[in-house]
Amino acid sequence: MPFALSPMTSALGAEVHGLDLRAPLSPEDFDALHRALLEHLVLFFRDQPLDPEEQLALARRFGAIDVHPFGRHLERHPQVGLLDQTSPKRDGANRWHADSTFMPRPPKACVLRAVELPATGGDTSWASMYAAYELLAPPIQRLLDELTASHDVTGPLVRAIQGGHSVGGLEDVQAAWPPIPHPVVCRHPDTGRKLLYVNSNFATHIEGVSEAESEMLLHFLFDWIRSPEIQVRFHWEPDSVAIWDNRCTQHFAAADYVERRIMHRVVVAGDWEPAR
């Protein structure tokens, strides 16, 4: 089943045309789709009315399914996450992040489908962490190449609790997921390209430097990731689907709506420990 790609920016993102994600993909078609994901980092599809089983089957082509440790899930399909929000700004939204980098092996990829959308707003943006690294001046790259950051689940959980959500016992969660170090700059396991690997949800400090130096570096990097030239923005329609590589992107869901927004998310388990 041949398909066409329409790149959306020079940094990342492509819309895929002519592919029905409900139909089984041949090995050749899946290989082409996987290559497109590695090249464009995030792929977008329109008019894909996948049911939960079909969404899971699609995600399994990329690897084993991982159940996100927090949040809601579909009752009959517990491997499908349910994002059901209204006025999400009060929930601590509006933060650039990669998913679950507090894990030793963070998720490889995500498959997200729009189910119900507000009349306006609710776009999602993605940023290329390849470009975030490659656009830095060489002296800054060399500095970051040697650094390690600690990633901690505590911050997002505290914000969720403050927003009125139940996440279980905070101390139990912290014990299950203690802070973990990851290199500030990693190499992608499939492409070998260097990428920036800190995000404002989970990276709490740079190891081996003073608190002031850590705050300065992280503030600079978090601000750098907001650069428009490394981003793509997607306007959802019902049954739109996005597949992204969680290892080399960050995303940002705009909390600019007050009506209900329902999304179904499937997470592909990590098969890589971030490394230089």
Q: Which of 188, 247, 251, 261 is catalytic?
A: 251
Question: Residue 159 catalytic?
Answer: no
Length of the chain: 276
DSSP for residue 74: -
- Catalytic residue (one of 97, 205, 261, 264): 97
Q: How far is CA 48 from the centre of its chain?
A: 20
46 a catalytic residue: no
Residue among 68, 205, 247, 265 flagged as catalytic:
265
What backbone phi and psi angles, to 5 degrees, belong to 39? -80, -40
Q: Considering the candidates 40, 66, 68, 99, report the single residue annotated as catalytic.
A: 99
DSSP 8-state code for residue 143: H
CA dihedral 177→184→148→105, nearest 10 degrees, is 30
Let me know if 225 is exposed, middle or buried by CB neighbors in 10 A (0-12, 13-18, 19+): buried
The Cα–Cα gap between 85 and 243 comes to: 21
* Known catalytic membership, residue 99: yes
Active site residue 205: no
Helix (H, G, I), strand (E, B) or coil at 217: helix
Indicate which residues carry an active-site annotation. 97, 99, 251, 265
